[in-house]
Amino acid sequence: MLQIRGLRKQFHVAGKEIPILDIPEWHVGQGEKIAITGPSGSGKSTLLHLISGIMRPDEGDILIGENKLSGMSEALRDRFRGEHIGYILQDFHLIPSLTARENVEIALARNRNTGRGERLELINHWFERVGMLERRDHKPSQLSRGQQQRVAIIRALISGPTLVLADEPTGSLDWETADEIAELLLELCGSDRHTLLVVTHDLRMAERFPTCRHIHEINEIHRRVRKQGGLAI
């Protein structure tokens, strides 16, 4: 469902080009659940930014299903992301002035052309699924961090994306809450319909996943830079 070919990304920093990613070939099958681990600065978040189309590669192709991201205009990539990709971040990024339900509703209204009644029914169903029905009219500041992440997970999944990307989803949570969130994410993405890629430093979380890959198994930059006698990133 996800294919990466000849992908390269570098950043221009202080007059120098710093290579970050070099992925000759990587395939992820429909329904796979993969945790990607690796040291800080090894390009994990950059990889997710490229797969979501938020960032463009310098070279190479990313295909999601039959859809080649490099062949799309920025507007088309934004639409494609809204319709097919769910993104979960460490810091939730909920809108503070809106309630939990409203945060979910604006994402749903943007991505799905449904009537309000149908939307509210679906939203209630999801809040019930994550055990937060009674909290749906609370603002983010009135919720715990774990609860805020549950709302962010609903927001990412409610439109039925085929690909779910999560960047350190448990990074700002205590261990117990992190375990609950990892469990919830795997349960909600459990069907073959959802492909789930999570980048994490949390090895306890990574071990729960059917597949766990170190970024250096995918990204050849580390090997190449070392071979050239450069600094390892």
Q: Does 41 bind ligand ATP (CB under 6 A)?
A: yes
Q: Does 230 bind ligand ATP (CB under 6 A)?
A: no
- The interface region with ligand ATP, picked from 39-47, 76-84, 104-112, 186-194 by CB under 6 A, is 39-47
Interacting positions 3-32 with ligand ATP (CB under 6 A): 11, 13, 20
Cβ–Cβ < 8 Å for 103, 154: no
Looking at the Cβ atoms of 11 and 175, the one nearer to ligand ATP is: 11
**Strands 59-64 and 33-37, bridge-based pairing:** unpaired
**β-bridge partners, 175:** none
Q: Does 140 bind ligand ATP (CB under 6 A)?
A: no
Q: Does 44 bind ligand ATP (CB under 6 A)?
A: yes
**Of positions 2, 7, 43, 92, contacts ligand ATP by CB under 6 A:** 43
Interacting positions 45-74 with ligand ATP (CB under 6 A): 45-46
Cβ–Cβ < 8 Å for 160, 191: no
Looking at the Cβ atoms of 143 and 199, the one nearer to ligand ATP is: 199
Closest CA to 93 of 156, 40, 43, 158: 156
Note the helical H segments in the chain: 44-52, 74-84, 100-111, 116-129, 145-157, 175-188, 203-208, 215-218, 221-227
Half-sphere exposure of 164 (CA within 13 A, CB side): 32
Looking at the Cβ atoms of 17 and 207, the one nearer to ligand ATP is: 17
d(CA 115, CA 59): 42
Q: Does 148 bind ligand ATP (CB under 6 A)?
A: no
Looking at the Cβ atoms of 196 and 199, the one nearer to ligand ATP is: 199
* Residues of the shown chain interacting with ligand ATP in the complex, contacts defined by CB under 6 A: 11, 13, 20, 38, 40-46
